[in-house]
Amino acid sequence: MPEDYRKYLNPQTVSTLKSIELKAKAIVEGFITGLHKSPYHGFSVEFAEHRQYTFGDEVRHVDWRVYARTGKYYVKQYEEETNLRSYILLDTSSSMRYSSDKKFLPKIEYAAYLAAALTLLMVQQRDAVSLVTYSEKLHQFFPPSVKSSHQTLILKTLAETSKLVSESQGERTSTANALSEFAKRLDKRSLIIIISDFWDEVDKTVAALKHFRHRQNEVIAFHLLDKVERDFEIGGDSELLDLETGEVITTSPKQIHAAYLSAFEAHIGKLRRDLTDNGIDYVLFDTSEPFDRSLLAYLRKRVDMM
């Protein structure tokens, strides 16, 4: 396993995230005294870790063997005690490898940093977190867990995935198909975060995400775009390559600049409206901006709305 994943553990970002809680707006399944409300009280059979006893914990869950050794009260923490189950869905299609300038991270690497930060945040809150990668179909699916070993597995997978996507071409997107497959594996209400450039059919994508809202899941869409994808500021005659299909066209960007911006605004405007109209958080990220600053701005805004 490569050690590249350690770059996602930037001390400054991790330290800042500790002060912010990503709280779900909806009532979710799973229970722990504290951060989230839940109608489900109970303990699963899969042990996760110990935590120190707090007032209100049931005595029957105290681990008396630990008390005998340490003289301190600890209760057993189980998978189902987590505040919520969080699924991070990461688009790994070839368009995600794009970067217009070496100064900026490719979209897939930017997405990996976002996913890593969210993973650390969820684990700090004792929320079970999952990573799911997809393009036209699901590729990797890690069931939600709160274990520290699971966090490391996700970070390593993000590093490997970013490297593979950066070297790929011809991997197309079908968000709707992938989400349909994912829905079959989702058996409890959860927080679903999808990270993508959303170069896909808006109607089909929104319809798939609406399905999760109808089932009382909370959904957040992180939309990642490169600066040039937004402003189309390209000088001179250029060859434009579609990283997913391999199609190449030669054109003068200045001649099609106005038409491109009009089509782009129509695409992004429809995506934003259709998602927000259906109770789905829509957040646009520009990869020329530091990911941690943009993420923290969103999280603070979210907390203020609680």
Tell me how far apart the alpha carbons of residues 269 and 259 are, in angstroms, rounded to a whole number: 15
What's the token pair of residue 180? Answer: 């349909």
Same domain assignment for residues 201 and 212: yes
Q: Specify whether 68 is located in the same domain as 114.
A: no
Task: Evaluate whether residue 77 is within a structural domain.
Answer: yes
Same domain (yes/no): 214, 190: yes
Strands (DSSP E) found in the chain: 47-52, 74-78, 85-91, 128-134, 138-145, 191-196, 218-225, 238-241, 248-251, 281-286
Per-residue confidence (pLDDT) for residue 55, from 0 to 100: 61
From 29, 59, 81, the end of a domain falls on 81
Average pLDDT, consecutive stretches of 10 residues, N- to C-terminus, the chain (306 residues): 70 69 53 43 52 70 86 72 80 94 92 92 86 95 89 92 87 92 91 96 96 93 96 75 74 83 96 97 95 86 72
Whichever domain contains 167, its CATH number is 3.40.50.410
Q: What is the C-alpha separation between 198 and 275, in angstroms, rounded?
A: 12
Pair 103, 236 in one domain:
yes
Instruction: Tell me: do 54 and 157 sit in the same domain.
Output: no
Q: Are residues 63 and 103 in the same domain?
A: no
Q: Do 154 and 279 share a structural domain?
A: yes
Residues ≥6 apart with Cβ < 8 Å to 236:
252, 253
Q: Which two tokens stand for residue 181?
A: 């497959």
Number of domains present in the structure of the chain: 2
Q: 253-277 vs 202-214: helix axis angle to the nearest 10?
A: 20
Residues 109 and 152 in one domain: yes
- Give pLDDT, residue 43: 41
User: Residue 69's domain spans which residues?
Assistant: 47-81
Q: Are residues 123 and 266 in the same domain?
A: yes
Residue 34 lies in a domain: no
Please indicate, yes or no, whether residues 143 and 241 belong to a single structural domain of this protein. yes
**Model pTM above 0.85:** no
Q: Domain check: are 73 and 87 in the same one? A: no
